[in-house]
Amino acid sequence: MTRSIQKFLVFFVVATNFLPLPDARAADFSEALELLQRQDYARAEPMLRDMLAREHDAEADYLLG
């Protein structure tokens, strides 16, 4: 398992356990978890990167008003 996938997996576990997620994001995280459990890292990594990018965009929009 590559280091970047390990980082995503840690983020995923923290996010799903401690952050309230809207239904759409919760479904994305659920699908990513299934891919990770099946060790389909080639499909899981881009999905997790996209979710992280959307999260950062939403946070920036909130902070910038």
Quick check: 32 and 44 in contact, CB under 8 A?
yes
Pairwise CA distance, residues 19 & 39, whole Å? 24
Pairwise CA distance, residues 62 & 26, whole Å? 20
pLDDT tens per residue, range 6-65: 777 777 776 666 565 566 677 777 888 888 888 888 888 888 888 878 777 777 777 776
Tell if the pTM clears 0.85, that is, is over it: no
Instruction: For the chain, give every domain's residue range.
Output: 3-64
